[in-house]
Amino acid sequence: MTLTIDILSAGRTIVIVIFVVVILAIIAMLIGKVRNFFAGRAFEGTDRVAMRSRWEEIERSASQSGEMGRKLAIIEADKLLDHALKALAMPGATLGERLKFAQYKYPELRDVWWAHKIRNQLAHEATFHLDNSMARTALKSFKKALTRLGAL
């Protein structure tokens, strides 16, 4: 009878050990996925070159065409930021949603909200006046965000 109890006890011990090993393997896998998520994606060389080229066009537009050029530059910079966040697989249906999510990994992106709000005013308010100083500040903010993301 003690032999039977010893065999049952050994069987339970083996099941517990297997269970613990499986749980540890699941935890290790989840830690790896979380680490990969926070490590994020990086821009490939061709993507970065294309974004830098686009940024140079945006800066030229801002400096050459008066207020309309500045407005177009802000709108295009906002679109470039959105493109960069999509390329980094940030979830969300809008740039605002993607920015909220991205701030967990890149807290500095909080600074670009002001520039994004300027873009929204440009897009939705026909009489919004964009002076040169405001445009320069917004473009600096977009450039800083794009640089932080590794797009520029």
Instruction: Give φ, ψ of 62 to 5 degrees.
Output: -65, -30
- DSSP 8-state code for residue 93: S
Sign of CA dihedral 86, 89, 93, 97: negative
Per-residue pLDDT at 33? 61
Residue 144 tokens read as: 């800083």
Per-residue pLDDT at 46? 73
Report the predicted TM-score, pTM, of the whole model to 2 decimal places. 0.71
Per-residue pLDDT at 113? 95
The pLDDT tens digits along the chain (152 residues) read: 555 556 656 667 787 878 777 787 787 677 666 555 555 556 666 788 999 999 999 999 999 878 999 999 999 999 999 999 999 999 999 999 999 999 998 999 999 999 999 999 999 999 999 999 999 999 999 999 999 999 98
Per-residue pLDDT at 69? 93
